[in-house]
């Protein structure tokens, strides 16, 4: 080490001049470096072209001309797909050849989610629930990725991944209980609608502040790696959330700590009203992966098999090699951002119609099933009727259930309630008694 250190000092500190002897050979440049040893000037030949950078922060070569790296060095990242828009397999070697029952289950989950969205969206419009966010058009990203995971894998979601939870077996009654904030809600009615969570299904409860799940997922994946349990963490986020500082923190932690983690970005074209061309200047989110030293891929999110293949392979390698993967699933948010948004203010009906009618994950999968004789008009009609009935029944049950006891607003934060919270609780009850006529307390659990 000392010898190397001494040599480096020689090269960098002790130099007085570097002369290029172009006359000797125009192609191979001979150079001399001068330095003093005990006061005496000495010269040593060296070849600058053979020098290698020694900086600890990069693996690189020296260059002798000034050139900025073009941002389009990483651009035009291709979109991996298995099926074309008519549901035909493009390259048979990429066909996951899933059994009929599995494919039918994909289709049924995607359409059930769609039906649940429709009914809960309407129920918000009728004032029955306070808020809702639909998943229209992104069903392929949910089901394709969820199917490629093991039930023990830990999921961190954003808020538009209800299909992942549905695929894992979260019952309609619990989706409804959360949105209605009734006594059956696992979150005890404390969260806004769509902030689901399930410990049993390894699905971490959704938080509203964007991107907070990204560094949390990195931490969880690091813990899982230390446990050595062959599990992976998957972290979903929108392309908008990828502009948060937390995204950078999470990506970098996961890469440097070599965590078994799949970063799954749903690039659906918008962050509320901001289109992607106003969100970033690079080639989407996949282009950022190499900057963090992460293996990355862009997939057609409306192709459920492409999403499945990419997630399955990322999962396998993330565990085998202990490293994070970045999947950017290209899709389109067909619905409004939420029930608080009216997207006609910032995008055209024609744009939405294109995705709804010509490039939809559900119709693509249906084409695939129809071509194999697995699904026809009759099955479709029967399933639509049955799935609507399932959702309506769960919805009616949820609406009739009581609300959680108001005291639950104050529990589960401290082991023993501090006096400040005790005071707030008393004040709440005084208020509820005083303005009794405005509070339907008989709807609440006693
Ligand atoms: C820290 C933070 N900033 C802003 C918001 C408000 N907000 C909620 S969703 C959203 C857009 C997110 O877009 P994207 O990540 O692309 O997800 P998408 O809604 O498209 O699924 C914004 C700005 C928030 N919840 N948290
Ligand atoms: Mg988005």
Are residues 113 and 364 in contact, defined by beta-carbon separation less than 8 angstroms? Answer: no
State mean pLDDT over 279-292.
97
State mean pLDDT over 151-174.
98
Bridge partners of 233, per DSSP, are 154, 261
Tell me what pLDDT residue 50 has: 86
Q: What CA–CA distance (Å, rounded) separates 115 from 390? A: 10
Catalytic residue among 16, 75, 208, 340, which? 208
pLDDT, greater one: 22 or 201: 201
Which of the four pLDDT bands, split at 50, 70 and 90, describes residue 31? confident
State mean pLDDT over 230-235.
98
Best substitution site from 240, 243, 346 to test ligand 1's pocket, by max atoms within 8 Å of Cβ?
240
Domain definitions of the chain by residue range: 92-400, 406-443
The pLDDT tens digits of the residues spanning 328-352 come to 999 999 999 999 999 999 999 999 9
Query: Which of 34-38, 68-72, 397-401 is predicted least confidently?
Result: 34-38
Bridge partners of 61, per DSSP, are none
pLDDT of residue 27 exceeding 60, the answer is no
Q: What CA–CA distance (Å, rounded) separates 400 from 395? A: 9
pLDDT of residue 83 exceeding 50, the answer is yes
What residues does ligand 1 touch, defined as CB less than 6 Å away? 160, 208-210, 238-241, 266, 268, 270-272, 333, 337
pLDDT, greater one: 23 or 166: 166
Active site (annotated) includes residue 142? no
Tell me what pLDDT residue 192 has: 97
Residue-averaged pLDDT of the chain: 92
Query: Which of 41-55, 264-278, 417-431 is predicted least confidently?
Result: 41-55
pLDDT of residue 327 exceeding 80, the answer is yes
State the DSSP code for 424.
Answer: H
CA of 275 from ligand 1 middle (Å) equals 12
Q: What CA–CA distance (Å, rounded) separates 152 from 263? A: 17
Catalytic residue among 122, 393, 399, 422, which? 122
Q: Point out the ligand 1 atom lying closest to the alpha carbon of residue 242.
A: 15
State the DSSP code for 403.
Answer: B
Active site (annotated) includes residue 208? yes
Tell me what pLDDT residue 30 has: 60
Q: Point out the ligand 1 atom lying closest to the alpha carbon of residue 271.
A: 13
Side-chain-side CA neighbours of 77 within 13 Å: the count stands at 21
CA of 240 from ligand 1 middle (Å) equals 6
pLDDT of residue 24 exceeding 70, the answer is no
State mean pLDDT over 276-280.
98
pLDDT of residue 250 exceeding 60, the answer is yes
CA of 238 from ligand 2 middle (Å) equals 5
Name the closest ligand to CA 141.
1
Tell me what pLDDT residue 334 has: 98
Active site (annotated) includes residue 273? no
Coil, strand or helix at 327:
strand
CA of 302 from ligand 1 middle (Å) equals 21
Tell me what pLDDT residue 4 has: 39
Are residues 306 and 300 in contact, defined by beta-carbon separation less than 8 angstroms? Answer: yes
Tell me what pLDDT residue 29 has: 52
Phi and psi at residue 141, in whole multiples of 5°?
-70, -35
Give CATH for domain 92-400. 3.40.50.970
Pairing of strands 233-238, 270-271: unpaired
Residue 157 has a CB neighbour count (10 Å cut-off) of: 26
Region label for 322, one of left (φ > 0), alpha (ψ between -120 and 50) or beta (otherwise): left
Tell me what pLDDT residue 67 has: 94
Q: What CA–CA distance (Å, rounded) separates 180 from 217? A: 28
Report which of 232, 213, 210 is spatially closest to residue 223, judged by C-alpha positions.
Answer: 232
Are residues 301 and 329 in contact, defined by beta-carbon separation less than 8 angstroms? Answer: yes
Q: Point out the ligand 1 atom lying closest to the alpha carbon of residue 337.
A: 19
Catalytic residue among 142, 195, 336, 337, which? 337
Q: Point out the ligand 1 atom lying closest to the alpha carbon of residue 333.
A: 20
Which stretches of 181-301 are DSSP H helices? 213-227, 245-256, 289-292
Are residues 260 and 225 in contact, defined by beta-carbon separation less than 8 angstroms? Answer: yes
Catalytic residue among 123, 198, 338, 387, which? 338
Give kind and range of the element (H or E) at residue 240. none
Are residues 164 and 157 in contact, defined by beta-carbon separation less than 8 angstroms? Answer: yes
CA of 64 from ligand 1 middle (Å) equals 45
Query: Which of 27-31, 224-228, 309-313, 402-406 is predicted least confidently?
Result: 27-31
Name the closest ligand to CA 157.
1
Which of the four pLDDT bands, split at 50, 70 and 90, describes residue 45? confident
The pLDDT tens digits of the residues spanning 59-73 come to 899 999 999 999 888
Q: What CA–CA distance (Å, rounded) separates 391 from 396? A: 9
Tell me what pLDDT residue 47 has: 83
The pLDDT tens digits of the residues spanning 95-152 come to 999 999 999 999 999 999 999 999 999 999 999 999 999 999 999 999 999 999 999 9
Are residues 262 and 295 in contact, defined by beta-carbon separation less than 8 angstroms? Answer: no
């Amino acid at each position: 080490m000392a010898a190397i250190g001494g040599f480096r000092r020689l090269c960098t500190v002790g130099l007085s001049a570097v002369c290029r002897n172009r006359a000797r050979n125009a192609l191979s440049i001979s150079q001399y470096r001068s330095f003093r040893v005990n006061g005496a000037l000495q010269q040593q030949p060296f070849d600058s072209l053979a020098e290698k950078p020694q900086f600890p922060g990069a693996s690189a070569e020296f260059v002798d001309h000034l050139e900025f790296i073009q941002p389009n060095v990483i651009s035009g990242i291709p979109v991996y797909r298995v099926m074309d828009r008519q549901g035909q397999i493009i390259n048979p070697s990429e066909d996951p050849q899933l059994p009929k029952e599995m494919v039918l289950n994909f289709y049924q989950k995607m359409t059930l989610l769609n039906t649940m969205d429709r009914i809960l969206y309407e129920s918000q419009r009728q004032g029955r629930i306070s808020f809702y966010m639909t998943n229209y058009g992104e069903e392929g990203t949910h089901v394709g990725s969820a199917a490629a995971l093991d039930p023990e894998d830990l999921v961190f979601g954003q808020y538009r991944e209800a299909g992942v939870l549905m695929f894992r077996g979260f019952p309609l009654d619990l989706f409804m209980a959360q949105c209605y904030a009734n006594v059956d809600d696992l979150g005890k009615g404390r969260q806004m609608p769509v902030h689901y969570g399930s410990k049993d299904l390894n699905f971490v409860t959704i938080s509203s502040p964007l991107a907070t799940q990204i560094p949390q997922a990195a931490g969880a994946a690091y813990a899982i790696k230390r446990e050595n349990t062959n599990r992976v963490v998957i972290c979903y986020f929108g392309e908008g959330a990828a502009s948060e500082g937390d995204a950078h923190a999470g990506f970098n932690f996961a890469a440097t700590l070599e965590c078994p983690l799949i970063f799954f970005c749903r690039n659906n074209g918008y962050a509320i009203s901001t289109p992607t061309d106003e969100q970033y200047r690079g080639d989407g989110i996949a282009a950022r992966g190499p900057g963090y030293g992460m293996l990355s891929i862009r997939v057609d999110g409306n192709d459920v098999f492409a999403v499945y293949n990419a997630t399955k392979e990322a999962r396998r390698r993330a565990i085998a090699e202990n490293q994070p993967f970045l999947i950017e699933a290209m899709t389109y948010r067909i619905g409004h951002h939420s029930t608080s948004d009216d997207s006609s203010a910032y995008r055209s009906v024609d744009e939405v119609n294109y995705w709804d009618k010509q490039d939809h994950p559900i119709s693509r999968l249906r084409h695939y099933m129809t071509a194999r004789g697995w699904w026809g008009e009759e099955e479709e009609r029967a399933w639509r009727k049955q799935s609507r009935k399932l959702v309506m029944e769960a919805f009616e049950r949820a609406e009739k259930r009581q609300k959680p006891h108001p005291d639950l607003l104050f529990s589960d934060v401290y082991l023993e309630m501090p006096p400040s919270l005790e005071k707030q609780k008393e004040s709440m009850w005084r208020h509820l008694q005083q303005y009794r006529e405005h509070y339907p307390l008989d709807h609440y659990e006693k």
